[in-house]
Structure 1
Amino acid sequence: MGFEIILTVILIVVIVLFVLSFIGGFIMFDLTLKPKSDKNIFKKKEKDITNEQKQLHEKLLSWTNDNMDSVWNISTFDNLNLKARYFKGTDEHKWVIVVHGYTSVGWHMSAFAKEYLSKGYSVLMPDLRGHGISEGEYATMGYYDSVDIIEWIYEIIKKDPEACIVLHGVSMGAATVMMVTGEDIPVHVKCVIEDCGYTSVWEVFKHNMKRMFKLPAFPILYTANIISSAKIKMDFKEVSPLKAVSNSKTPILFIHGDQDVLVPFKMLNILYENASCEKDYLVIKEAVHGEASAKEPDTYYEKVSGFIDKYIN
Structure 2
Amino acid sequence: MNKKRWVKIGVGIVFILLIINIIGSLYFYDLAIKREKKDFLQGNKDLEVSAEAMNTFLKGDWREWVVNQNFEGMEIESFDGLKLQGYFLESIEPTNKTVIFAHGYLGRGRDMALYGQYYYEELGYNIFLADMRGHGESEGDYIGFGWHDRLDYLKWIDTIIEKKGMDVEIVLHGLSMGGATMAMISGEELPSNVKAIVADSPYSSVYDLFAYQLKRMYKLPEFPVLPTTSLVTNMKAGYSLKEASALEQVKKAEVPILYFHGSNDTFVPTPMANELYEQTNGETDIMFFEGANHGEAFAIDKEKYVEKLTGFLKKYIN
Shifted more, 222-231 versus 63-72: the winner is 63-72
Counterpart in 2 of 1:14?
A: 14
In structure 1, what is the Cα distance between the partners aligned to 2:95 and 2:56? 35
Deviations 1:261-296 (A, max 9, x none): 111101121111111101111111100011111111
Deviations 1:224-265 (A, max 9, x none): 101011122211110111111110000000111010011110
Pick closer, same or farther for the CA change 1:310–1:54 going to 2, 3 Å. closer
Counterpart in 1 of 2:178?
A: 173
Pick closer, same or farther for the CA change 1:262–1:78 going to 2, 3 Å. same
- Unaligned 5+ segments in structure 1 are none
1:117 aligns with 2:120: yes
In structure 1, what is the Cα distance between the partners aligned to 2:220 and 2:143? 22
1:140 aligns with 2:147: no
1:100 aligns with 2:85: no
Pick closer, same or farther for the CA change 1:159–1:147 going to 2, 3 Å. same
Pick closer, same or farther for the CA change 1:148–1:214 going to 2, 3 Å. same
Q: 2:207 corresponds to which letter in structure 1?
A: W
Counterpart in 1 of 2:283?
A: 278
Counterpart in 2 of 1:202?
A: 207
Counterpart in 2 of 1:33?
A: 33
How far residue 39 of structure 1 moved from its aligned partner, in angstroms, is 3.8
- TM-score, normalised to structure 2, is 0.92
Runs of 4 or more consecutive aligned structure 1 residues displaced over 4 Å after TM superposition: 48-55, 57-61
Kept after mapping to 1: 8 A contact 2:49/2:293: no
Q: 1:181 corresponds to which letter in structure 2?
A: S
Q: Secondary structure at the match of 1:83?
A: strand
Q: How does 1:210-249 map to 2 (within 5 A)?
A: 210-249=215-254
- TM-score, normalised to structure 1, is 0.94
Counterpart in 1 of 2:81?
A: 79
In structure 2, what is the Cα distance between the partners aligned to 1:246 and 1:278? 11
Q: Secondary structure at the match of 2:254?
A: coil
Kept after mapping to 2: 8 A contact 1:32/1:40: no
> What's the % identity of the aligned pairs?
36
In structure 2, what is the Cα distance between the partners aligned to 1:208 and 1:91? 45
Kept after mapping to 2: 8 A contact 1:43/1:103: no
1:269 aligns with 2:274: yes
- Unaligned 5+ segments in structure 2 are none
RMSD (CA atoms): 2.1
In structure 1, what is the Cα distance between the partners aligned to 2:263 and 2:168? 34
Q: 1:93 corresponds to which letter in structure 2?
A: N
Pick closer, same or farther for the CA change 1:213–1:132 going to 2, 3 Å. same
Q: Secondary structure at the match of 1:140?
A: coil
Pick closer, same or farther for the CA change 1:44–1:176 going to 2, 3 Å. farther
In structure 1, what is the Cα distance between the partners aligned to 2:277 and 2:106? 26
How far residue 87 of structure 1 moved from its aligned partner, in angstroms, is 1.2
How far residue 34 of structure 1 moved from its aligned partner, in angstroms, is 2.4
How far residue 63 of structure 1 moved from its aligned partner, in angstroms, is 2.5
